[in-house]
Amino acid sequence: MSHYAYFVAGWLIVIGALGIVRSRNLVQAIVCLAVAQSGTYVLLLSVGYQWGAAPPLFSEPATKPTLHVVDPLVQAMTLTDIVVSATVTSMLLAIAIQIHKRTGSIDPDELDALRG
């Protein structure tokens, strides 16, 4: 079962990259980028996950931390990763909107201002 999560993570990254390669629509390509990034969330979370473990919450200083908690570090990293994703995706979508305004097209096959 735990291998399943790694498989999902790898699948999301590869299918996201493949989606950008095959995309005929810039918005779709940007969403594919976000899909590839979702793979990294799944990977990070599954690296730190333990079956049957408690969430990493230690409310009272007196309680001894139990050994069976999931890894808080990867959760913090995933949160940071999501913030980064929001920044980059919004930036790229803004550029895509501007491209549509200037050229009337968001098909990468029709955008040929940059060749050679």
Partner 1 sequence: MVTFDHGAAALVPLAVAGPIVVACILLVAGRSVPRLAVDVTAIAAALAEAGLLAYLLSSAAGGRLVTWVAGWTPHHGYSVGIVLVVDPLGAGIALLAACLTAIALLFSTRYFESIEAHYHALILLFLSGMVGLSLTADLFNMFVFFELMGAAAYGLTAVQIEDESALQGGLNFGIVNSLGAYISLTGLGFLFARTGSVGLPQLQTGLAHHRPDALVIAAFVLVLTGFLVKGALVPFHFWLADAHAVAPAPVCVLFSGVMVPLGIYAAFRIYWAVFAPVLPLGDVRRTFLVLGALTAVVGSIMSLTQRHFKRMLAYSTIAHAGLFVVALACLSVAGTAGALLYVAGHAGVKGALFLIAGVMLSRYGSVDELALYGAGRGQKAMGWLLVAGALALAGLPPFGTALGKAVAEDAGSAAGYGWVPVLFVAVSALTAGAILRVAARVYWGLGPKPVEWSQARSSGNVGEPETRLQRLPVTMVIAIGTLLVGALVMGLLPGLHSVANRAAASFTDSAGYANQALHNVHELVAAPVTPNWTGLGLGLGFLSAGCACLVAVAGLYGSRLVKFLPGLRAFRSPIDLLHRLHSGHVGDYVAFMMVGIAALAAFVGLPLR
Question: Which parts of this chain interact with partner 1 (CB under 8 A)?
Answer: 9, 13, 16-17, 20-23, 26, 29-30, 33, 36-37, 39-40, 43-44, 47-48, 71, 73-74, 77, 80-81, 84, 87-88, 91-92, 95-96, 98-99, 102-103, 108-109, 111-116
Comparison of 69 and 96: residue with beta carbon closer to partner 1 = 96
**Ordered alpha helix ranges (H), 1-116:** 2-22, 26-48, 72-103
Rounded least distance, CB 83 to partner 1, Å = 9
**Smallest separation (angstroms) from partner 1 to the CB of 21:** 4
Q: Which is nearer to partner 1, 54 or 97 (CB)?
A: 97
Phi, psi of 74 (to 5 degrees): -70, -30
Minimum gap (Å) between residue 63 Cβ and partner 1 = 19
Buried b / exposed e over 54-82, threshold 16 CB at 10 Å, is eeeeeeeeeeeeeeeebbeebbebbeebe
Identify residue 114 by its one-letter amino acid code: L
Return d(Cα 38, Cα 17) in angstroms, integer: 12
Q: How far is the CB of 101 from partner 1 (least distance, A)?
A: 9
| Tokens 């699948």 belong to residue | 11
